[in-house]
Structure 1
């Protein structure tokens, strides 16, 4: 049966469509321009900035330079420069005498080379917090560096050296801030811990993990923990009007997966239809061509962009404020770049391939290693099942040699003491918007999840895209101003954490 519509009916439908479209547009604009402004004005006074004398300023620069000259390299899980780790222990003792000699500080060596400080506060009713950093660095050779990587030399206002960003500037920054506080006669109200791990770059199994065991035997619980993480990102997030500070509230999980194919060896003059290398190559190609699903908006990354919506230029501000409507578009756009893709899905990275022993021999075995970084909405089991379905070849043997699920999402609501204290300190010092985010790399803070639900990741330094490339890369460096700002951050954070109430802010435009 044919159904016909008159001109009147078409007109009515057209009117309904236009009215509906107008409603949608109105809702989008209303949501965008009625979002609460990100706040920077806080009720009550926070900790003041430290006023440094010129000799104190030079002292802090020299403290960092000396630390960078000690090559505390972690080469592999079974090889570290233990001589340098021993030297570093003696170095910080001489560089920060007030910290090590204060009656308020209990110090101990953990796991052979890691350092644990318990700074005693006057009010035992307040849960302690913890500042975490690591003193080991990844390897570096002089080739390609403007200045030698372990020289601690300075050029054009920048201090160069492996660890200047990751993570000795934080190690020295925390200790230097406490040294200056003690010099000013400071006595904390809230107790806190400082943990300096020696093997973070190789998973922290003998450093951070042993620190956790030590604290667990004493039934220690923490109000919050702060480790390294995102900094203040300048020009890194596309479409933003100004620098943005991101606090990591979770980390992606990880799987290191070995793929092995075994087949009969033979002479290259009579090759089989499929070799171990060919079978493995096909499996790797399928993994690379079939990316795991886009999960944008199912983790904290949705909150990141919604909270920062006002910081984007038009029309991105409308899109970010209305992810319920624009999620499909935003998720596809983000997946176009490696950094954006790392946020929206579990990533697949082919990292090692081995096969063959001689040009005229068909190898019996071919192996590969693939590294996955898991989106917070997925588990190790789910990803491994998906990988098996993508490869669809029983001849490829899968073996997970290292795997852990994404970390729990730490609270970032307005009632959480740790998050709001960090947010206050960041906004007071940097005057930038702050939002929660997912860390796409892993830290050794994951070992501490049983001690507190509030685990955060933030490094108090302004980072450009170029700076991000220097971490674990060539010409790692930090500016004099950037390092001093980091010390200011810890100076203020330690004092702000003495409060027994959650910081409260009032609405204000940044």
Structure 2
């Protein structure tokens, strides 16, 4: 991109730079200047249990309390003439920041307020809603998903407004309240509102991948991975119905046995290996020059070695997810009494769909693998993988995010990546072509050591994660 092009968007990059700095939670990083007031606000946010249990079961009381916290913590944001604030679907928030050049297509920053349930019995070193600080780390549900971004973005905007900031390009900040249960009220209603106003976005930035330190021992330095897509998803119900009976006179095959055999076939016959046919190829290509030999040789020649790399990655559950559509049996229900043969047995299987496959292709493979007419296969819900956003040298959104990351951390290698989990940003695909998923947090992950050992040794080894608690 030309120098003039970048200078025109200097304010946009500066906003993101501030967001990155204020969102970082790694206490050992000397580049982060901790603001006591900022961390106080973030800890207050974590202490509010904005839990989503299901689309119809959310903690409405906590969500109202969180709204009051936002108004108190960021008075300038809520009072500025440049910012229009709206409450959407009772609990979500939409901030519209006016730009001085309305002809420029706006962008959007997205985050979510809600968290998944947490119990102290889950092995936490500190109560999950205590926001307790231990060794320069704040512990609590929402510290990584996703209140650090909620508070970081609004703190950045508050800071810039106090400095007299006015952007050239307008932008939106969307805060959904039910992302953890698919965003069917928060994100979808924000989308409907923007559609009614004929809004189109230049790009959208949501949570997703991170700055990962230890992604692979053979990698020279940490890497920032920007998610350019996310996997699709399908939940399939398998069921077998047979005549009820008594355990004293069992048939040769029971409903449980028939269903168990079908489930075992799905586990024994995983979806085809597709490594190299999705965004994961770009990840390895961008990082190839930073690898030590022989990984550098393999990653630099994926045209030849993609099948080999894919098979090595498939040896570990943590890396197998990048190689194919994954199969996970998550629920199995049958029987009510030890001496009664159940008439119905049910199992639920969740698939996370690789970018090179479609939902229908996965369902067809499920039917052929089950291969038993006595087993009924029903789709509970599902959607295709998200389109892959552009990450070329001329991709506006990707290059702005990349440049901002390198402004803060020049030692990083930046690469595109694939999110194996799902976000509510998928609901915005009709408004924007390029959706990026990145959290400006420096995270040391044990998955890197798993990946490194898998590639260098080609064998399965058990490793314990270095982090004792759940972030």
| Residues 164, 476 of structure 1: 8 Å contact kept | no
Quick one: structure 1 residues 307 and 467, their matched pair in 2 at CA, closer, same or farther if it must change by over 3 Å?
A: closer
| Residues 215, 447 of structure 2: 8 Å contact kept | no
Quick one: structure 1 residues 467 and 68, their matched pair in 2 at CA, closer, same or farther if it must change by over 3 Å?
A: farther
| Residues 73, 81 of structure 1: 8 Å contact kept | yes
Q: Could you tell me how far 1:56 is from its partner in structure 2?
A: 7.9
Give the whole-Å Cα distance in 2 for the aligned partners of 1:56 and 1:365.
Answer: 58
Q: Could you tell me how far 1:84 is from its partner in structure 2?
A: 0.3
Superposition pairs for residues 16-55 of structure 1, below 5 Å?
A: 47=14
Partner of 1:91: 69
Give the whole-Å Cα distance in 2 for the aligned partners of 1:119 and 1:293.
Answer: 46
* Partner SS state of residue 331, structure 1: helix
Partner of 2:79: 101
Number of matched residues?
434
Give the whole-Å Cα distance in 2 for the aligned partners of 1:351 and 1:47.
Answer: 44
1:430 aligns with 2:409: yes
Quick one: structure 1 residues 372 and 269, their matched pair in 2 at CA, closer, same or farther if it must change by over 3 Å?
A: same
Superposition pairs for residues 228-247 of structure 1, below 5 Å?
A: 228-237=207-216, 239-247=218-226
Superposition pairs for residues 117-196 of structure 1, below 5 Å?
A: 117-143=95-121, 144-196=123-175
Give the whole-Å Cα distance in 2 for the aligned partners of 1:112 and 1:120.
Answer: 24
1:69 aligns with 2:63: no
* Partner SS state of residue 240, structure 2: strand
Partner of 1:198: 177
Give the whole-Å Cα distance in 2 for the aligned partners of 1:476 and 1:356.
Answer: 35
Question: TM-score, normalized by length of structure 1?
Answer: 0.82
Unaligned runs of 5+ in 2: 23-31, 449-462
Give the whole-Å Cα distance in 2 for the aligned partners of 1:86 and 1:359.
Answer: 47
Give the whole-Å Cα distance in 1 for the aligned partners of 2:429 and 2:469.
Answer: 34
Unaligned runs of 5+ in 1: 1-41, 478-510
1:164-189 alpha-carbon deviations (Å, 9 max, x no partner): 11000000010011111111111111
Give the whole-Å Cα distance in 2 for the aligned partners of 1:327 and 1:55.
Answer: 42
1:113-151 alpha-carbon deviations (Å, 9 max, x no partner): 100000011011111000000000000111221111111
* Partner SS state of residue 322, structure 2: helix
1:475 aligns with 2:469: yes
* Partner SS state of residue 259, structure 2: helix
Quick one: structure 1 residues 224 and 326, their matched pair in 2 at CA, closer, same or farther if it must change by over 3 Å?
A: same
Max radius of gyration: which structure?
Answer: 1
My pick for the range that moved more, 59-68 or 136-145, is: 136-145
Q: Could you tell me how far 1:292 is from its partner in structure 2?
A: 0.7
1:417 aligns with 2:411: no
Partner of 1:340: 319
Please point out which of 256, 260, 263 is paired with 1:281. 260
1:76-122 alpha-carbon deviations (Å, 9 max, x no partner): 22211111011111110001000001000000000111000000110
* Partner SS state of residue 167, structure 2: coil
Partner of 1:375: 354
* Partner SS state of residue 406, structure 2: helix
My pick for the range that moved more, 238-247 or 157-166, is: 238-247
Give the whole-Å Cα distance in 2 for the aligned partners of 1:183 and 1:56.
Answer: 19
| Residues 163, 476 of structure 1: 8 Å contact kept | no
Partner of 1:464: 444
Give the whole-Å Cα distance in 1 for the aligned partners of 2:100 and 2:129.
Answer: 41
| Residues 165, 476 of structure 1: 8 Å contact kept | no
**Structure 1 runs, 4 residues or longer, greater than 6 Å off:** 42-46, 48-52, 467-471
CA RMSD between the two structures: 2.3
Superposition pairs for residues 283-362 of structure 1, below 5 Å?
A: 283-362=262-341
